[in-house]
Structures are given as C-alpha cells and as structure tokens.
Amino acid sequence: MTIDVALIIKAIIILLIFGITLLIAMYSTYGERKVAAFMQDRIGPNRAGPFGLLQPLADAVKMFFKEDFIPSQASKWLFILGPCLSMLTALMTSAVIPFGDSVKYESAPGKVWDIPVQAIDVNIGILYVFGVVSLGVYGIMVGGWASNNKFSLLGAIRAASQNISYEISMGLAIIAILMMTGSLSIRHIVEQQHGGNWNIFYQPLGFIIFITCAFAECNRTPFDLPECETELIGGYHTEYSSMKLGFYLFAEYINMFVSSAMISSLYFGGYNYPGMDWVQAQLTSSLGEIAGHNVGTLIGTLVFFAKSLFFVFFYMWVRWTLPRFRYDQLMNLGWKALIPLAMINIILTGGAILFLKPLIVSFLK
C-alpha cells in the first residue's frame, strides 16, 4: 500500500511534466506572435479571449478542421510517419530533465519517501538526450522525401546535413562539461552547480558553442534553412496540411522548450538559485521538515521554469533580430569555426583541471 502512494506521486509528476511541456509549447506559439508584434511595433493576436489568450486553442481547432491532404504520388505510409516521428522524438527528450529537487512524502511515522521531480533519472541522461536529438532529423527527412516534391527533398537534405554538422560541435561542447563534473547524469550535473557554482562561469566559450548548435538543431532563425520560405516555399513541410503540418510546427516549439531547459540545467544551475540554502532553512524551520522541503522544491521548480522561459524568449528575440545565413556560410561556421573552437575549449578545460586548479588550491592554503 505504501509503495502505491509513492508510485502515484511519481505518475502524477510524469503526467505533470508531459502536460506542462505541451502547454508551454502551445503558449510559445502565442508568445512568439506577441514578441514579434512587440518588436515590429504591432499589437499581435488580441481577438480570441482576453489579450488573445485563447489564440492557440483557436489555431488548434483550425488545424484539425482543415482538409487532410495526401499527394497522389507521395509514399503514403512514410508521409504519415514523418510528422509522427518528429513529434515522438520531440516529446521523448523531456523525460530525463530534472525539473526540481524532490518531493518528500511520509507514508508512516519515520518512513519518508524521497521522490525526485524528474520522469526517469538514468545515469546516462546526457547521452539519452543526445541520441534522441540525433534521431529528430528522421521525421524531417522521411516527411520531406515521402512528399515527392523537389522543394521538400531539398529542405530535408538541408536539414540532415545541418543537423549532422552541428551535432558534432554540440557533443564536443558537452564533453568539456562532462570533464568538469565527471558524470553523465543531468541530475548530478545540476547538483554540482549548487551555491552559485554555475557552469556558465567556467565554460563561457562552451556555452556560446552549445547555444549556437541548439539553434541549428531546432532549425530556428538564423539557421532555418530547411524551411526558408523565400527559397524553398516551405521546405520539408511544403506538401503537408491540417494537423500533420501542425505536428511539424508544434514539434519545433517543443524542441525549443526542451533545449531551453537543457541550456538552463547544463549551464545555469537548473533549479538552483542564489540564497537557496537560506530559503530552505527558513522554510523548514517555519513549516516543518517535510512541508518545508516540498515548498522549497516548488520554488526551485518555478525558478527552473523561469530560466527556461527566458531562453524560449531568447530564441524568439534572435528570430526577429537576425537575418538568415547563406548555406555555405552555415557550413563554414559549423565545420571551420565551431568545431575547432570546441576542441580548443576541451584542451583549455583539461589544462585548467590539471594545472590551474591545484595551483589555486595550493595558493588558497
């Protein structure tokens, strides 16, 4: 009976994470329009509901009621498989991200369950994320090829070569973090940043490489060449309509949120915030051990969401500020600038761990 309650709490946490990811992706579409409107001195959506807050719902209804069209020369099952794969890989990533510390629950006096606010805590979390991200390109490639359209195929091929190129420097940027923390579990990496010890202060170059590659992996401006409408009509989703198109567009926003969450947990301390221990001590002394811990976890989770949403905003900010790269510029940046920089970053990190750290430790003694 006791284990059942712990399992129910875990199930609720998993459902909440899933639901919140979808909700945030849904309201990112609204946010994107509002941010774009603000930057271009317009008002943006304001018809559906107060401040246009029901706009995403209206969009979803519109998507569902459009005609679902499959081109006659398209390969039918692969045409359907494409958007499904895109959505699946986008949603799988959020499983290993630690959204908060842990929820404590006392089933019997003296018997306390400690349930982490995370769907699964695998000890290869980063590799899991990396594997799922590298599969994300199949949705685009399969959909683009199955459409039997030259523009779609060109978009798919651009997406594939772009993702392969930028995955390498992304992996190399993460290796520098792994050298510092010595663990592949994202929860360990977040815990080691406790007390203002954020990785961004040690890895500024790695952070810049990582965020550039994250933009390229999400196919966001300035790297949105797979779907650039001035050259390829719509790129890989030219032939798609109705909710299949909706899945492609929605997967992009989920990817954006998940990569923002990854950035904030790898480089910005995840659910840690300055003065966390003091707040935790105040809460436990006033509310008691278990309730205080849970409220502290809630505050940490809110901080984590605030950090992630800032980066979602950053994605939109960049989209409406920077123009698109040319294709050879994109490839040159990936292969000739980011990969050498990431390797230099690894060597510098290794040198600092081997020589600088003992020097500083002996100096402080």
**Shortest gap between Cβ of 13 and another protein (angstroms)?**
22
Instruction: Give 355's DSSP letter.
Output: I
Q: What distances in angstroms separate CA 291 from CA 100, 280, 286, 294, 297, one per listed residue?
A: 15, 11, 9, 5, 10
C-alpha to C-alpha distance for 101 and 187, rounded to whole angstroms: 9
Measured from the CB atom, the residue of 96 and 283 that comes closer to another protein is 96
**Shortest gap between Cβ of 74 and another protein (angstroms)?**
13
Measured from the CB atom, the residue of 115 and 122 that comes closer to another protein is 122
Measured from the CB atom, the residue of 135 and 291 that comes closer to another protein is 135
Measured from the CB atom, the residue of 107 and 134 that comes closer to another protein is 134
Measured from the CB atom, the residue of 27 and 325 that comes closer to another protein is 325
C-alpha to C-alpha distance for 316 and 302, rounded to whole angstroms: 21
Amino acid at 166: Y
C-alpha to C-alpha distance for 32 and 90, rounded to whole angstroms: 19
Residue 290 and residue 112 in contact, taking contact as beta carbons nearer than 8 Å: yes
**Shortest gap between Cβ of 141 and another protein (angstroms)?**
6
**Shortest gap between Cβ of 134 and another protein (angstroms)?**
3
Both tokens assigned to 245: 């198109």
Measured from the CB atom, the residue of 22 and 92 that comes closer to another protein is 92
Please count the CA atoms within 13 angstroms of the CA of 102 that sit on its side-chain side.
13
**Shortest gap between Cβ of 122 and another protein (angstroms)?**
7
Residue 2 and residue 111 in contact, taking contact as beta carbons nearer than 8 Å: yes
Backbone angles phi, psi at 192, to 5 degrees: -75, -15
Both tokens assigned to 4: 């059942």
C-alpha to C-alpha distance for 198 and 118, rounded to whole angstroms: 20
Residue 284 and residue 292 in contact, taking contact as beta carbons nearer than 8 Å: yes
365 burial level (CB within 10 Å; 0-12, 13-18, 19+): exposed
Region of residue 335 (phi > 0: left; psi between -120 and 50: alpha; otherwise: beta): alpha
Measured from the CB atom, the residue of 36 and 168 that comes closer to another protein is 168
Measured from the CB atom, the residue of 40 and 72 that comes closer to another protein is 72
**Shortest gap between Cβ of 318 and another protein (angstroms)?**
26
Helix, strand, coil percent content, the chain, rounded in steps of 5: 75, 5, 25
**Shortest gap between Cβ of 233 and another protein (angstroms)?**
18
**Shortest gap between Cβ of 171 and another protein (angstroms)?**
8
By CB under 8 A, name the binding residues for another protein: 75, 78, 122-124, 127-128, 130-131, 134-135, 137-138, 141-142, 145, 153, 156-157, 160-161, 163-164, 167, 184, 328
